[in-house]
Amino acid sequence: MTIVSTIRHNRIISVVLLTLLATAVPLAAGAQGTTVPASTTWTSLKGDVFGQKAVEPANGIITIEAPKRAEDAALVPIDLHFKTDATSGRIKTVTLIVDENPSPVAAVFKFGKDAGVTHLATRLRVNAYSYVRAIAETEDGKLHMTETFVKASGGCSAPALKNQDEAVASLGKMKLRVFPSSAPGSEPMTRATEMQLMIRHPNNSGLQMDQITRYYIPAHFIQGLTVSQGDRLIMSMEGGISISEDPNFRFEFDAKPGEDVKVEAADTEGKKFQNEWPLQSSSL
């Protein structure tokens, strides 16, 4: 699996890791303020992630939904909808950023050419009152950004694991759910299928200090993920520590009945997980 394939992507990983190493401690400790921060974080972040490229307002090409106040900062549901037109072309990648997190780039999603992904939902850790933003890159090379503000705190440094033995025992276990078509009566050939992919993984942030040894518990998270059907790439993800424990992705795409759905994932310890599910026409 080659998830990290382009120079730009390598650069993002560096940003993720460097920021993590350089600022993890002070940010985790000090980022519990209660005021809405200015977008200064984004201003300095933008260049690191996208260089000199212009980032335009999304104008509906991509929309983001998140709770205004997170009940559980380690499990903040984020909903993305895509609506492209002929001028911009389809969305090639989406970068999900949590400005105030120690490692701001939560994930970079890449979509297959004919995958037809129109909706993607996942769950994030949010460490402080923060903007959560999604930047879509369309085929014409333009960047389109939408953002929302989430009040949450401690999502990265809070150990989310509620049942540690279970977490270890079920590492890498996957579950795929297929939902009935959301558009009843749609043409069989263009019918979108909604799926939910769940992976058991602690997705440790590495920001939790062992109170006895005073060492940080090492980060251990899902780094790369690909979902494909037959030979077709549906989507791939480069992930960071801001994706919640037990990574969870719900998405809508153009499914081809009868072809297997295949998922491959790799974590920071080099462990690889994979699974395949037959997709019967009847389940579409």
Partner 1 sequence: MIHPTRRSVLKTGAFFTCCCLGQFSLARAQSAGRVALPVTEFEDGVFAFSGIPEMMSANNRGEICNVGFIVGEEAVAVVDSGGSVAEGRALIASIRAVSDKPIRYLINTHMHPDHIFGNAAFEDTGATVVGHQSLPRALASRGDYYLRSFRESLGASLMADVKIIPPTKLIAGEETLDLGKRQLTLKAWKPAHTDNDLTVFDQQSQALFTGDLCFIDHLPTMDGSLRGWMEQLETLKTINAKLAVPGHGPVPSKWPEALEVERRYFETLARDIRKSIADGVPMAEAVKTAAQSERPNWRLFDEYNERNATAAFAELEWE
Residue 40: CB minimum distance to partner 1, A: 23
Interface residue with partner 1 among 15, 171, 209, 233 (CB under 8 A) is: 209
The three-point CA angle 90-118-180 to 5° equals 145
For the chain, helix, strand, coil in percent to 5 are 15, 40, 45
172: alpha, beta or left? (left if phi > 0; alpha if psi -120 to 50): left
Between 128 and 237, CB nearer to partner 1: 128
Residue whose CB is less far from partner 1, 12 or 132: 132
Tell the smallest beta-carbon distance from residue 179 to partner 1 (Å). Answer: 5
**Residue 198 found at the interface with partner 1 (CB under 8 A):** yes
Please tell me whether residue 29 binds partner 1 under the rule CB under 8 A: yes
The answer to the question of residue 231 lying near partner 1 (CB under 8 A) is no
Residue located via tokens 């389109």: 144
In terms of CB distance, is 138 or 244 closer to partner 1? 244
What b-and-e string marks burial along 79-110, b requiring 16 or more CB atoms within 10 Å of the CB? ebbbebeeebebbbbbbbbbbbbbbbbbbbbb
**Given the complex with partner 1, which of 75 and 135 has the nearer CB atom?**
75
What interhelical angle do 40-50 and 7-30 show, nearest 10? 150
180 binds partner 1 per the rule CB under 8 A: yes
Does 154 engage in binding with partner 1 (CB under 8 A)? yes
Q: Does 163 bind partner 1 (CB under 8 A)?
A: yes
Nearer to partner 1, 79 or 259 (CB): 79
Cα–chain center distance at 105: 9
